[in-house]
Amino acid sequence: MTTTAVGTMIQDQELPQSRMGRLRHRLFHNDPADDLTLQPHIDEKLTKKSELWSFFLFGFGYYSWANSCASLLLPILVQGIARNASHLESDPSVPCPETDPVNDRCLVPFGWIQVTPTSYVLLTNVVTVWCTIVLTLGVSALADHGRVSKRIMLCTSTALCVIACFIFLGALEPSVWWLSALLFVLTGIVNGPTQNFYDAHIPILTRYHPDVVRIQIQEGEASKAYIDAKTKVQTFLSGGSSAAGYAGGMVLTIICAIILLMVNQDLVTVGYCVIVAGVYIFIFVCFYAKYAVQRTFPPLPAGSHWATYGYVRIGKTISKARRLKTLFYFLCTWFILGDGLAASSSMAILIAQDQLKLDSSSMIIAALIQMVAAGLGMIFWIRLQNRHGVSPLKVVIFNTVAFGLIPCYCLLGLIESCPIGLKHEWELYMLAAFFGIFSGAIYSSNRVVFAQFIPFGHENELFALYEMSSVSSSWIAPLVCTAIIQSSSVRHTWWFLASQFFIPAVLLLFINVDKGRAEGIEFYNKEQEQKKLKVAGAQAEEAESGSVEDEERDIIKNAV
């Protein structure tokens, strides 16, 4: 009897009879035959279901930061604190009143310049982006070596939770109003590496997933079945983590809504909600710490220093861009698209808060609508890809074009006689639903497409470039939007944001996924050949030096 038959028989014998038992068996049981038939063929542990659960649970807690705090609570908090610290442009000695002054503006200091509270939030994002780029690019490649990736990810995510618990101080004590913006920047700095390391799990977990390893053994890595298996698992991991993040963000948003309704809706209470978010995320960080597996990667090259290695390696990889043309072309499109996604969300919130005068409850309702729509949208798009064979790239292109219609709709608000164009509260709820349906699919499918281009052993390093290609462009839209706001009005920013979607949609039409995948495989093979040549050269030098020492020993021995 073969090993596979033995494993199947064991599995059949252990299969529970009750429906709940079979569900529990499906969710948590690992096939014992996999350890016998698959594990000997790979150099790392197979991906277990407990490891997948740790991945999704971390996403459930961690993504709630982006979906609830960074996109909703923090802009409200930082803008409100800046508003309380602002003064009239006509008379800087007079504090800004609660209602907007007629023919005057409220300004707050940002360094040596005076800006509006809305521009203050945007410029704070710019500072956050540049600091995030510096740190993330420095530590990203370290996670591809040794046994430190899990440790670094736990440190950065825990730091995020701790810093979040002190952001409320700016609302509690007016004299240190600037402290909240500083802490906001720090959360962005530690959030960058966490996001990078988390996304890098997708190609790593896929490579050692039993379904992928089984096809690899049977058909080979060059087979279409192997490529399809990898794409299916990557879609499941990327879409599942995004769906889990939206679900976690929805739960956190509901908790914050209950707190605001039971207490009050002032800035201090919003700050307390951010504290709750920090504790909430830390709970799921603990689940990840317990069940995640730390895989072993090659050690740092001889002579490398941990503080500079990340920058050196990123520079070397970029210098080889001609060998990964499709990957870097894709990063250029994501550079534009990611900027538009982040800026559109921020501008919708700022317009709703600044011009529609919506309170925190209305903003939270809009956030809940977005998350529910995003979760339902993720289920739809994942099924469309897996059951009907629609490629992730086509999903990205379609959703990018559809998302570009949102800024076009908001531009109708510039027409005074037009009754629509984000002029009413119900429009914010409608746009939140559209935002969720399209944005979730873009983020999820984009990661799947990019993961197919990455050479093995460069996951964290290149996902850092992926994150930074989006983050590094995120200072462009805030600066452009700030200039537009200062010169005209906040609604004119939609002209620029509309271009952030239609331009990358056209560029994505020229992406060849098969070519990009082949370039990644060729890159890895050439890299391995160069390593073998270096090892062979070093061994030859050692052998030659050893023979010289033997000759010298013989001469001395004969002389004696």
Residue 555: pLDDT above 70? no
Beta bridge partners of 113: 110
Average pLDDT, the chain: 81
Beta bridge partners of 107: 87
* Residue given tokens 């930082």 in the structure block: 78
pLDDT in tens, 463-490: 777 876 766 556 677 677 777 776 777 7
- Residue 273 contacts by C-beta under 8 Å, 6 or more apart in sequence? 73, 255, 256, 259, 260
Percent of the chain with pLDDT over 90: 11
- What does the pLDDT read at residue 1? 43
Structure tokens at 434: 């559209």
> H/E element holding 115?
strand 113-115
- Report the 10 Å Cβ neighbour count for 515: 12
Each residue of 481-534: pLDDT tens digit?
777 776 777 777 888 888 889 999 999 999 999 899 888 888 888 888 887 887
Q: Are 288 and 410 in contact (CB under 8 A)?
A: no
Is residue 288's pLDDT more than 90? yes
- Considering only CA atoms, which of 370, 427, 292 is closest in space to residue 71? 370
- Find which of 12-26, 75-89, 294-308 is predicted with most confidence, using mean pLDDT: 75-89
pLDDT: is 209 or 267 the higher one?
209
- Residue located via tokens 């350890």: 35
Per-residue pLDDT, 505:
92
pLDDT 10s digits, 27-84: 677 888 888 888 888 888 899 988 999 999 999 998 888 778 887 788 888 888 888 8
Structure tokens given for 82: 């800046």
What letter would DSSP give residue 107? E
CA angle 152, 169, 277 (to 5 degrees): 50
pLDDT tier for residue 279 given thresholds of 50, 70 and 90 = very high
Across the range 392-400, mean pLDDT stands at 90
pLDDT at 69: 83
pLDDT at position 104 is: 79
Residues 372 and 250: beta-carbon distance below 8 Å: yes
Q: What is the pLDDT of residue 20?
A: 66
Q: Which of 53-62, 143-152, 198-207, 519-528 has the lowest mean pLDDT?
A: 143-152
In contact, 69 and 274? CB cutoff 8 Å:
yes
Handedness of CA 46, 49, 50, 56 (dihedral sign): positive
Residue 297, helix vs strand vs coil: strand
| pLDDT given for residue 23 in this prediction | 61
Whole-number Å distance between alpha carbons of 171 and 81: 6
Task: Identify the CA nearest to 37 among candidates 221, 216, 237.
Answer: 216
What the chain holds in terms of domains, given with CATH numbers, is: 51-296+306-539 (1.20.1250.20)
d(CA 21, CA 27): 10
Q: Nearest to residue 204, comparing CAs of 100, 292, 75? A: 292
* Tokens matching residue 362: 């209305």
Under a CB-based contact definition with an 8 Å cutoff, are residues 201 and 47 in contact? no
Would you state the pLDDT for residue 281?
A: 93
For the residues 167-188, what does the mean pLDDT come to? Answer: 86
Cα–Cα distance for residue pair 388/96, rounded to 1 Å: 57
Q: What are the helix (H) ranges across 165-305?
A: 169-172, 178-199, 201-207, 210-219, 224-262, 267-291
Is residue 135's pLDDT more than 90?
Answer: no
Q: Residue 21's pLDDT is what?
A: 66
Query: Is the CB of residue 207 less than 8 Å from the CB of residue 45?
Result: no
Closest by CA to 331, choosing from 96, 477, 504, is 504
Query: HEC string of 296-340?
Result: CECCCCCCCCHHHHHHHHHHHHHHCHHHHHHHHHHHHHHHHHHHH
Q: In what order do the strands lie in the sheet with 87-88?
A: 87-88, 106-110, 113-115
At residue 17, what are phi and psi to the nearest 5 degrees? -90, -35
d(CA 295, CA 153) in angstroms, rounded, equals: 13
Q: Which tokens hold the place of 172?
A: 């509690």
Query: What is the percent of the chain where pLDDT is above 70?
Result: 88
* Strand-pair category, 87-88 with 106-110: antiparallel
Selection from 419, 431, 398 nearest residue 501 by Cα: 398
Alpha-carbon distance values, 270 to 38, 80, 255, 261 (Å) = 51, 10, 12, 11
End-to-end alpha-carbon separation of the chain, Å?
69
Single-letter residue type at 209: H
What's the distance, CA 362 to chain centroid? 27
| Residue 1 three-state SS | coil
The dihedrals phi and psi of 34, each to the nearest 5 degrees, come to -65, -35
Tens digits of residue pLDDT in 317-351 = 777 667 888 988 998 898 888 878 877 777 777 67
d(CA 63, CA 248): 7
Q: Annotate 55-82 with DSSP letters as a single string.
A: HHHHHHHHHHIIIIIIIIIHHHHHHHHH
Q: Which residue has the higher pLDDT, 93 or 174?
A: 93
Q: Rounded to an integer, what distance in angstroms lies between the CA atom of residue 305 and that of residue 559? A: 47
Residue 16 has pLDDT above 70, yes or no: no
| CA gap 44, 28 in Å, rounded | 20
CA atoms within 13 A on the CB side of 529: 6
pTM score over 0.75: no
**DSSP 8-state symbol, 95:** B
Q: What is the pLDDT of residues 248-269, one digit of tens each?
A: 888 898 888 888 888 877 888 8
More confident residue, 284 or 559: 284
Query: What is the separation of C-alpha 14 from the centre of its chain, rounded to a whole number of angstroms?
Result: 39
Residues 112-123 have pLDDT tens digits of 888 888 788 878
| pLDDT the model gives residue 507 | 92
Between the CA of residue 548 and those of 538, 545, 551, 553, 558, what are the distances in Å?
A: 16, 5, 5, 9, 16
pLDDT digits (tens, 9 = 90+) for 411-434: 888 888 888 888 888 888 888 888
